[in-house]
Structures are given as C-alpha cells and as structure tokens.
Amino acid sequence: MEWTPKLSPSGDEAEIALVGDYDLYHAPLFSAFVLGKIEGGWNRVSLNLSGVSYLDSTGVGSIIRIAQALRKKGAKLRCRGLSGSPRRVLEMSNVIALLEEDRPERASS
C-alpha cells in the first residue's frame, strides 16, 4: 500500500490518499505513521480510500485506532471514496459509525 499525505497550509490537517491493500502487511506501518502525526499536532485527518481494493481486520483495527486518537482531540476521522469490499467490511464491523463520510454529490435531474 502506498499513501500520500497532503497537508493544509496550517499543517494541522491532512488528507491522505491510499492505494493498494490495507492489510496485515501495511496497516501497522500506516497507523504508526498517522498516530505519530496526530500526537505531533495533526487535528484533522481525512482518508481517501478510493484506491483501496482490499481491507482486512488489521486495516479495520488501524482505522479504529486512528479514529479513537482523533476523538480524543474532539474530531472525527473523515473518509471518502469508500466503496466495494472495503465499504462492506467497515459496515459489517460497525465501524462506519465512527467515521465522518464524505459522499459524492448526486446530480439533480
């Protein structure tokens, strides 16, 4: 899995685009990176999961830890681009309620 953080001008907000498998092999390093940044001053984190093709239980645990760290700062973990199998895994594990989800706007007819 690869990730690319994009910081706000103030440096305390980040949007991170993830690509690949969010799994046992990649989630621990990613969550350690994000949790370290939250401890270092990030107050808002948004994950763009549109490039994630696979999410396992370790990835779910990583998302939960990140969401809990942000909750301690009074913020919610934002997610966008959540679809397919990763979305179903988060719905079945009842993690969606911990997230603030950005959904695409629907065009009006």
Question: Is 97 a residue whose pLDDT tops 90?
Answer: no
What are the extents of the domains in the chain? 2-102
Give the pLDDT confidence score for residue 108 in this predicted structure: 47
Max alpha carbon distance in the chain (Å)? Answer: 46
93: left (phi over 0), alpha (psi -120 to 50) or beta: alpha
Which H/E stretch holds residue 55?
strand 44-55
Give the pLDDT confidence score for residue 101 in this predicted structure: 86
CATH of 2-102, one of 3.30.750.24, 3.20.20.140, 3.40.1350.10, 1.20.1440.230: 3.30.750.24
What's the distance, Cα to Cα, between the start and end of the chain in Å? Answer: 38
pTM of the complete model: 0.89
Q: pLDDT tens, 48-82?
A: 999 999 999 999 999 999 999 999 999 989 999 99
Beta-ladder partners of 54: 21
Q: pLDDT tens, 6-40?
A: 998 888 899 999 999 999 999 999 999 999 999 99
Beta-ladder partners of 2: 19
